[in-house]
């Protein structure tokens, strides 16, 4: 016999908000250990300056930056969006 979901019935409390699950915490610890063993900040700096790995480094930077940016009430943030359309014409050099 299966228990049916009853509308309005709440599930268990689950994991508190903001608490990473155990697998995520373990993976993060392993990554930080590997980074430390590879040379830490100096290693990351070499990756940032190498044209072959600079894009991957910037992807990593994007992952660690805060997802939300908040200004203060006295000096609110402003977003400026610019859309640019560029028409490129090529010439046929083969005659």
pLDDT digits (tens, 9 = 90+) for 1-38: 566 766 766 667 777 777 778 888 888 889 889 999 99
Q: What is the domain range of residue 48?
A: 22-64
Is 54 among the domain residues?
yes
Count Cβ atoms below 10 Å from residue 68 Cβ, excluding itself.
4
Is 37 among the domain residues?
yes
Is 45 among the domain residues?
yes
Is 27 among the domain residues?
yes
Is 85 among the domain residues?
no
Is 72 among the domain residues?
no
- From residue 67, alpha-carbon distances to 6, 63, 81 in Å are 36, 9, 18
Task: Say what the pTM is.
Answer: 0.48
What is the per-residue pLDDT for 82? Answer: 83
Is 29 among the domain residues?
yes
Number of domains in the chain: 1
Is 31 among the domain residues?
yes
């Amino acid at each position: 016999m299966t228990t049916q979901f009853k509308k309005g019935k709440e599930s268990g409390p689950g994991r508190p908000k903001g608490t990473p699950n155990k697998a995520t915490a373990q993976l993060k610890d392993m990554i930080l250990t590997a980074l430390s063993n590879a040379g830490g900040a100096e290693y990351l700096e070499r990756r940032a300056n190498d044209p072959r790995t600079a894009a991957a480094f910037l992807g990593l930077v994007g992952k660690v930056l805060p997802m939300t940016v908040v200004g203060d009430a006295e000096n609110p943030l402003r977003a400026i969006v610019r859309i640019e359309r560029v028409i490129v014409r090529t010439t046929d050099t083969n005659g």
